[in-house]
Amino acid sequence: MQGLEIHENFFVFELGGVDIVLGMEWLSFLGEIRANFKELMIKIPLGNSYHVLKGEPELARASASFKSIIKVIKNEGQGFFLNTEIWRKKKFMIHPQPDWVSAVLNEYEDVFQEPQGLPPSRRHGHAIVLKEGANIPILRPYRYPHYQKNEIERLVDDMLRSGIIRPSVSPYSSPIILVKKKDGGWRFCVDYRALNKITVPDKFPIPIIDELLDE
């Protein structure tokens, strides 16, 4: 790298915009270094001299700073923030499914079906007991962009149709938030932190492990 030979153990990941990341494990072996971040320059000690590494100004150049953009929007009107990413298409090979896998899937077909409705009634009914004198938590929704609003409405309609949720006139109100999943979908999460603060927790002492092992 710019005349500097580096021997290091690397972890292989997919990176965007850079080829290699030299982290703290590498920096810890350099000793005392000299850096000028304004000039994008770093001096690494090699023997009795220093080896100079220079950054590429084009990679750090921005047409406008984030603060200046915010200032313009506040004073002059509205705007949009766009994020561009490079998507690389991956080729996936579809392998034939083994017979024993097909047999298991067919035998337990009901396990892999989408859930419909709530589970059956159990012997113990769940209840949320509030602390004495606590006020009912009524929180307004979080702000979210338009595309998330459409996704929230779709998820709510799906849960209503499947019977997981039902219309209610309860005065309790907790906000929701969408969390991105690895497969690109959205996970519907409810923020119950305000309710948890005023809830009397159920405490069940755990048996002593040593006694259980003796038994």
What CATH number is attached to the domain comprising 159?
Answer: 3.10.10.10
Whether this model's pTM surpasses 0.75: no
**pLDDT, position 61:** 62
Annotate the chain with DSSP letters as a single string: -TT------------SS-S----HHHHTTT-S-EEETTTTEEEEEETTEEEEEE--HHHH--SS-HHHHHHHHHHH------------------PPPPHHHHHHHHHTGGGGSPP-SPPPP-SS----PBPTTPPPPB-PPPP--HHHHHHHHHHHHHHHHHTSS-----S-B--EEEEE-TTS-EEEEE--HHHHHTB-----PPPPHHHHHH-
User: Domain total for the chain?
Assistant: 1
Domain that holds residue 172: 125-215
In a domain, 32, yes or no: no
Query: What are the mean pLDDT values of the chain's consecutive 10-residue runs (215 residues total)?
Result: 83 79 82 85 84 79 71 71 69 80 90 81 87 91 88 92 89 92 90 94 88 92
**pLDDT, position 62:** 62
In a domain, 119, yes or no: no
In a domain, 25, yes or no: no
In a domain, 96, yes or no: no
